[in-house]
Amino acid sequence: MASTTRTISLTVNGRPQTAEVEPRKLLVDFLREDLGLVGAHIGCEHGVCGTCTVLLNGASIRSCITFAVQADGAEVSTVEGLAGSGELHPLQDEFSAKQGLQCGYCTPGMLMRACEILAQNPDPAPAEVRSAIASNLCRCTGYQFITEAVLDAAARMRRAKETAS
Amino acid sequence: MTTANRAAAPPVRDHSAKRRWVGRSIRRVEDPKFLRGQGGYIADRITPGTLHAAVLRSPHPHARILGIETSQALAAPGVHTVITGKEAAELCDPMPDFGPDPSKHTWRCLAAEKVRYVGEGVAVVVADSRYLAEDALELIDVSYEPLPAVVDPERALASGAPLVHEALESNCAYERTFDFGDVERDFAEADLIVRDRLRWHRSGGQPLETVGAIADYDPGTGSLTIDTNSLSFTSYLFMVASTLKVPVNKLDIRPVPAGGSFGSKLFATKPAVIAGMCSRATGRKVTYLEDRIDNISNCDHHGSDRIYEVELAVMRDGTIRGIKIDTIDDYGAYIQFGMGHHGNALAQAVGPYTIGSVRYHVRAALTNKNQQGAYRGFGSEVNNWMLEQMVDKAAGELGLDPVTIRRTNFIRKFPHFIPTGNVYDSGNYDEVLDQALVLADYDHWRAEQKRLREQEGRYIGIGLITAQERSVFSATEFWFWFDQPGAPVTSTPESVTLKVDATGGITAILYSCAFWGNSPETMVAQFVAEEFDCDPYDVAIAYQGSRDGLPATGPGGSRTTVMLAGAVEGAAGKIKEKARRAAAHLLEIDPGDLEWADGGYQVKGDPEQRKSLAEIAIALHLFKHSFPAEMESGLDASKVFDHPYTTMPSADRKDLGVFYPFMGHACHIPVVEVDIETGAVTFLHYAAVHDCGTLVNPRSLAGHIVGGTAQGIGTALYEEYVYDDDGQLLSSSYLDYLIPTAVEVPELAIGHVETPSPYTPHGVKGGGEGGRMMAPAAINAAVNDALLPLGVRLTELPMTPERILSALREAEKTG
């Protein structure tokens, strides 16, 4: 049904955005259709599979069960913000090195979830990684090489931090 | 088995050449775009102005459609058209159908007169957005006359059952008994007949991306272009053109990357037909992309759903002489792929064992469920499970351990023709088993199992299975079921074009091998690099749509890597031959005096005198008149690679011929713990050793082994499309259809054995179906081993906590 629109202002990958949206428009559709950021994918549309995962103020959320208006005033991070057009983020690079992806459909959600995991715990144990990524389904890899990629990226990111400080 | 007129095998190949790129775990060339979130999946390609279609699904398992009122929906905001099933039947012919008797179980893109399962489409709305299309769906009023539904396949075959298709006058779409070898003699001479009834319930591929299409009809030219994530069997797309009533040469179906398939996008053309029909009806670009409920309830790709009654003829020393298989397969409401799933199983019906005779009685039941399609294994994974269950049961009855009975029966001489007529090209089953026992730390776990049972009262089980992974199907398995087949197709080709540009850069064009999460681009890049001594990352890959393409078949039956290897080899050979003649002309020497080395042709014994591929290429592109008259400009070649080893079935069907010759093998050894209070199963260890010939990219194959095993864990323990007795689908979301997460899937210890195929380029065999061929059988064996002290044996998958607890209660009762 036609409905009145609302104005929302938010930051997406560091860039301020203002837009008119229908109140019922899902965040994932807003990102994909209005902003052209197609990295967040639609998988189950009921908040289980996690392929639509983005960060809202640093915390992972399911953008398929979040309305765009709920992101008003927030900072949203998507996979497109990880590397921009530059070099791959260590997580992306390790996913490639370890073949932590096959069809690639869950990958953006997994990467964003992994960002959150490593922000909370830069040195997780393998079981902690498995437990944390159990929020997101992957139908291809069986998770083993994803786990390896996250652990190796964590080690690289720790080394980079030590070198920098 | 008749052996008299067996056609000759292809020549045995020499695999001694040293390989530079084949066999290396290079990073996949496909990955960077996916890592950046720029995969270009079908939904990423919807442009502004595209209309969106949404399908109204039936809430009834079986009902007559009395009428559909669409006027309110048509008047709703943003709606362009509404098409009912009846109208769709005018616009489109029935869907392509390889079933036994398509005119008697007619399948359409939308149901026209009655619905036959919950989720079947009855109407489609086309609107400015998906939101508006779904709004309008709610305004459509369908009046149904509910009919009694039939859900249980055995009931469906009994007399008096409600008919799914009245025209068929029965719910049995196919029945036949085949005898291969001397079954009666083997059973008469057996020391022991081992019997069991086994039940495998339906699950499915459930890729995270559903099936979708974007159709664009051009009224000016009458051409219809459809982009889809399910392009496959390019050679058969003329059938889709026929469904859509457009000339074949006006229909171009183009592949885009798919977010997973696992079989379930194989020739999944219904969304493309719906989008195409809607685009023609509106004259606009239209997308139809299934939502998750569409995909679960209406994808036409549910997996096998079988009941088995099996008998095994066994000698006291453990030798298995023969097997009688009686199976009912619940196909659901339609039967689009016919009996291919059982043809598949017949390719490796006897597993890795020297079993000399097979009786195969199969009945295809039609019921009020979504129909079967393809799911990783295509019926062979079910046969593996059935056979391994029977071998374990025989071992138990004979007092043999699972290793001994398998070694007693292993095939050790190759090539080996099994009773059905198919050939096993090569293998080394002892080596695979040896390596798996080490990797599994088998003796340690046997000791642990005993200790934990005695000291802590825990139920630990070790499963051990040795099973086959046939690869590279030929078309005969779809028609040898019939004495007078409608279409005795003889090849399932795959094509590649290689183009060398003026600078020596190479582009490979693929014709149906859409990227589905497998790695066709990496495989082709590695094969091209092997042929031309270039860097695989310098090879460009392009895809061609169906209209302008060459014959192709696409992923399925673990064929892609082998077939692409053959196509690249053939195209490269043609290019090298021309390059040799060109180089010889440029060097003013006889072509026979040149040899290929380091990316160019050089004079034998004089590496100083050489022309690189780039030097040859620029000359051929630009300086035609420097060459002899018969040499054309440019440097490119195509190869249509036909199935390398198929022989025809005998007229009496006692020998089905060679149809799945490149035989992989694996041994899986999971260690599980069963909690007898809750029925939960957890993994303590898991070892998997696979042999699929020469490895192209070991890491990539390992990914298929782990990923397939994760799906096999789902099949064994969690995943089931559950229909209740009334035909309602109870598992229509991921809250009820349980896909394993990272905590349900253990870390695998993976081993590889490489027994090259004598008949394929580099000796490669297929391995794409990976762990799912093996894991259900292995996990069932492990659970049974754990519960052996309690006298409990699970014979039904998935082994949900409810089924395990109910088996435990049953055993207690019968005590």
Is residue A152 located within the same domain as residue A128? Answer: yes
Residue A45 within any structural domain of the chain = yes
Residue A106 within any structural domain of the chain = yes
User: DSSP label at B609?
Assistant: E
Rg (Cα) of chain B, in Å, rounded? 28
- Does position B3 have pLDDT exceeding 90, yes or no? no
Strand partners, B778: none
The number of CA neighbours under 13 Å toward the Cβ of B506 is 30
Tell me the angle at which helices B402-409 and B429-439 cross, rounded to the nearest 10 degrees: 160
Do residue B259 and residue A96 have CB atoms under 8 angstroms apart?
Answer: no
ipTM of the complex: 0.97
Domain boundary among A21, A49, A78: A78
Q: What is the CATH number of the domain that holds A69?
A: 3.10.20.30
A with B: how many residue pairs have Cβ under 8 Å apart?
181
- Give the C-alpha separation, B140 to B56, whole Å: 8
Tell me which residue range forms the domain holding A144: 86-164
Instruction: Select from B658, B643, B660, B645 the least CA-distant residue to B769.
Output: B660
Distance from CA of B515 to the nearest CA of A (A): 8
Is residue A66 located within the same domain as residue A120? Answer: no
Distance from CA of A83 to the nearest CA of B (A): 7
Q: Output the six-digit token pair for A133.
A: 């990524």
Instruction: Select from B544, B554, B543 the least CA-distant residue to B493.
Output: B554
- Give the C-alpha separation, B356 to B183, whole Å: 8
Contact residues, B window 373-432, toward A, CB-based 8 Å cutoff: none
Q: Output the six-digit token pair for B526.
A: 């590695």
Contact residues, A window 52-91, toward B, CB-based 8 Å cutoff: 78-80, 82-83, 88
Q: Output the six-digit token pair for B182.
A: 């001397």
Q: Output the six-digit token pair for A86.
A: 């530059």
Is residue A98 located within the same domain as residue A37? Answer: no
Is residue A19 located within the same domain as residue A54? Answer: yes
Do residue B43 and residue A42 have CB atoms under 8 angstroms apart?
Answer: yes
Q: Output the six-digit token pair for B452.
A: 């934990």
Q: What is the CATH number of the domain that holds A114?
A: 1.10.150.120
C-beta of residue B413 within 8 angstroms of C-beta of residue B804? no
- Give the C-alpha separation, B532 to B576, whole Å: 9
Distance from CA of A162 to the nearest CA of B (A): 26
pLDDT, mean of residues B733-762:
98
A67-71, B506-510, B553-557: least confidently modelled range: B553-557
B206: which chain A residues are within 8 Å (Cβ-Cβ)? 139
- Does position B814 have pLDDT exceeding 90, yes or no? no
CA quadruple B128, B133, B135, B140: dihedral, nearest 10? 130
pLDDT, mean of residues B231-258:
95
Q: Which residue has tokens 């709610």? A: B138
Do residue B38 and residue A38 have CB atoms under 8 angstroms apart?
Answer: yes
- Give the C-alpha separation, B765 to A66, whole Å: 46
C-beta of residue B355 within 8 angstroms of C-beta of residue B320? yes
Q: What is the pLDDT of residue A3?
A: 60
Contact residues, A window 121-140, toward B, CB-based 8 Å cutoff: 126, 129-131, 133-140
DSSP string of B544-580, one letter each residue: --STT--S---S-TT-HHHHHHHHHHHHHHHHHHHHH
DSSP string of B119-165, one letter each residue: T-EEEEEEESSHHHHHHHHTT-EEEEEE------HHHHHSTTPPPS-
For residue B671, with 0-12 CB atoms within 10 Å meaning exposed, 13-18 middle and 19 or more buried, which class applies? buried
- The boundaries of every CATH 3.30.365.10 domain in chain B are 31-38+493-641, 306-410+423-473+657-814
Q: Output the six-digit token pair for B814.
A: 């019968």
Q: Pick the residue of A22, A31, A99 with the most B CBs within 10 A to test the interface with B by mutation.
A: A99
Pairing of strands A6-12, A15-21: antiparallel
Q: What is the pLDDT of residue B187?
A: 98
Q: Pick the residue of A35, A38, A79, A103 with the most B CBs within 10 A to test the interface with B by mutation.
A: A103
Nearest-Cα residue of chain B relative to residue A85? B36
Q: Mean pLDDT, chain B, as a whole number?
A: 97
Phi first, then psi, for residue B240 (nearest 5°) are: -70, -40
Residue B47 contacts A where some CB pair is shorter than 8 Å: no
Phi first, then psi, for residue B681 (nearest 5°) are: -120, 125
- Give the C-alpha separation, B56 to B167, whole Å: 26
pLDDT band at B123 (very low <50, low <70, confident <90, very high): very high
For residue B170, with 0-12 CB atoms within 10 Å meaning exposed, 13-18 middle and 19 or more buried, which class applies? middle
Q: What is the pLDDT of residue A1?
A: 47
pLDDT in tens, B246-300: 999 999 999 999 999 999 999 999 999 999 999 999 999 999 999 999 999 999 9
Domain boundary among A78, A98, A123: A78
Residue A159 contacts B where some CB pair is shorter than 8 Å: no
Q: Which residue has tokens 């495989």? A: B523
Distance from CA of A54 to the nearest CA of B (A): 12
Distance from CA of A101 to the nearest CA of B (A): 8
Buried b (16+ CB within 10 A) or exposed e, B306-327: bbbebbbbbbeebbbbbbbbbb
- Give the C-alpha separation, B391 to B708, whole Å: 23
pLDDT in tens, B52-110: 999 999 999 999 999 999 999 999 999 999 999 999 999 999 999 999 999 999 999 99
Domain boundary among A23, A44, A78: A78
Instruction: Select from B56, B68, B66, B87 the least CA-distant residue to B146.
Output: B66
Q: Pick the residue of B24, B25, B36 with the most A CBs within 10 A to test the interface with A by mutation.
A: B36
C-beta of residue B430 within 8 angstroms of C-beta of residue B662? no
Q: Which helix (H) or strand (E) holds B526?
A: helix B520-532
Q: Pick the residue of A87, A144, A150 with the most B CBs within 10 A to test the interface with B by mutation.
A: A144
User: DSSP label at B385?
Assistant: H
C-beta of residue B713 within 8 angstroms of C-beta of residue B745? yes
A141 Cβ neighbours under 8 A, 6+ residues apart = A99, A100, A101, A102, B703, B706, B707, B710
Please tell us whether the domain made up of B306-410+423-473+657-814 is placed in CATH 3.30.365.10. Answer: yes
Share of chain B above pLDDT 90, in %: 97
Q: Output the six-digit token pair for B755.
A: 């027994």
pLDDT in tens, A52-109: 999 999 999 999 999 999 999 999 999 999 998 899 999 999 999 999 999 999 999 9
Tally of CB atoms within 10 A around B219: 8
Do residue B77 and residue A1 have CB atoms under 8 angstroms apart?
Answer: yes
Is residue A124 located within the same domain as residue A93? Answer: yes
pLDDT in tens, B588-603: 999 999 999 999 999 9
Q: Which helix (H) or strand (E) holds B390?
A: helix B380-398
pLDDT in tens, B386-400: 999 999 999 999 999
Q: Mean pLDDT, chain A, as a whole number?
A: 96
pLDDT in tens, B445-471: 999 999 999 999 999 999 999 999 999
- Does position A33 have pLDDT exceeding 60, yes or no? yes
Distance from CA of A32 to the nearest CA of B (A): 8
B207: which chain A residues are within 8 Å (Cβ-Cβ)? 103, 105, 139
Is residue A152 located within the same domain as residue A94? Answer: yes
Q: Which residue has tokens 């399948």? A: B107
Classify the C-alpha dihedral B250-B255-B256-B259 as positive or negative. Answer: positive
Do residue B208 and residue A105 have CB atoms under 8 angstroms apart?
Answer: yes
Is residue A73 located within the same domain as residue A91? Answer: no
Do residue A146 and residue B742 have CB atoms under 8 angstroms apart?
Answer: yes
- The boundaries of every CATH 3.90.1170.50 domain in chain B are 45-148+204-298
Counts of helices then strands in chain A (DSSP H, E): 6, 5
Contact residues, A window 16-45, toward B, CB-based 8 Å cutoff: 22, 24-25, 32, 37-45
Distance from CA of A161 to the nearest CA of B (A): 23
Tally of CB atoms within 10 A around B337: 24
B813 Cβ neighbours under 8 A, 6+ residues apart = none
- Give the C-alpha separation, B318 to B320, whole Å: 6
Residue A153 within any structural domain of the chain = yes
Q: In the β-sheet with B114-115, what is the strand arrangement from edge to edge?
A: B114-115, B63-69, B141-146
Q: Output the six-digit token pair for A139.
A: 């139908």
B736: which chain A residues are within 8 Å (Cβ-Cβ)? none
Counts of helices then strands in chain B (DSSP H, E): 20, 30
pLDDT in tens, B524-551: 999 999 999 999 999 999 999 999 999 9
Is residue A92 located within the same domain as residue A155? Answer: yes
Is residue A91 located within the same domain as residue A127? Answer: yes
Do residue B745 and residue A143 have CB atoms under 8 angstroms apart?
Answer: yes
B399 Cβ neighbours under 8 A, 6+ residues apart = none
Residue A104 contacts B where some CB pair is shorter than 8 Å: yes
Is residue A119 located within the same domain as residue A152? Answer: yes
Share of chain B above pLDDT 70, in %: 99
Instruction: Select from A5, A4, A39, A38 the least CA-distant residue to A21.
Output: A5
Do residue A96 and residue B35 have CB atoms under 8 angstroms apart?
Answer: yes
Distance from CA of A42 to the nearest CA of B (A): 7
Q: What is the pLDDT of residue B2?
A: 46
Instruction: Select from B669, B674, B677 the least CA-distant residue to B784.
Output: B674
Residue B482 contacts A where some CB pair is shorter than 8 Å: no
pLDDT in tens, B177-200: 999 999 999 999 999 999 999 999
Is residue A103 located within the same domain as residue A160? Answer: yes
Strand partners, B542: B509
Classify the C-alpha dihedral A9-A15-A19-A23 as positive or negative. Answer: negative
pLDDT band at B5 (very low <50, low <70, confident <90, very high): low
Residue B35 contacts A where some CB pair is shorter than 8 Å: yes
Please tell us whether the domain made up of B31-38+493-641 is placed in CATH 3.30.365.10. Answer: yes
Q: Which helix (H) or strand (E) holds B495?
A: strand B494-500
Q: Which of A44, A80, A102 sits opposite B703 (nearest CB)?
A: A102
Q: Which of B208, B515, B702 sits opposite A43 (nearest CB)?
A: B208
Is residue A90 located within the same domain as residue A158? Answer: yes
Nearest-Cα residue of chain B relative to residue A140? B707
C-beta of residue B64 within 8 angstroms of C-beta of residue B147? yes
Do residue A104 and residue B739 have CB atoms under 8 angstroms apart?
Answer: no
Do residue B742 and residue A147 have CB atoms under 8 angstroms apart?
Answer: yes
Tally of CB atoms within 10 A around A157: 18
- Give the C-alpha separation, B133 to B79, whole Å: 7
Residue A7 contacts B where some CB pair is shorter than 8 Å: no
- Give the C-alpha separation, B241 to B92, whole Å: 10
- Give the C-alpha separation, B754 to B752, whole Å: 6
Residue A1 within any structural domain of the chain = no
Nearest-Cα residue of chain B relative to residue A78? B37
Do residue A105 and residue B259 have CB atoms under 8 angstroms apart?
Answer: yes
pLDDT, mean of residues B4-33:
92
Q: Looking at domain B45-148+204-298, which of 3.30.499.10, 1.20.1250.20, 3.40.50.720, 3.90.1170.50 is its CATH number?
A: 3.90.1170.50
Distance from CA of A165 to the nearest CA of B (A): 28
Residue B703 contacts A where some CB pair is shorter than 8 Å: yes
pLDDT band at B512 (very low <50, low <70, confident <90, very high): confident
Q: Which residue has tokens 């085949």? A: B178
Q: Output the six-digit token pair for A73.
A: 């005033």
B631 Cβ neighbours under 8 A, 6+ residues apart = B578, B581, B582, B585, B620, B624
- Give the C-alpha separation, B194 to B177, whole Å: 20
Q: Output the six-digit token pair for A131.
A: 């437990």
Tally of CB atoms within 10 A around B467: 26
pLDDT band at B8 (very low <50, low <70, confident <90, very high): confident
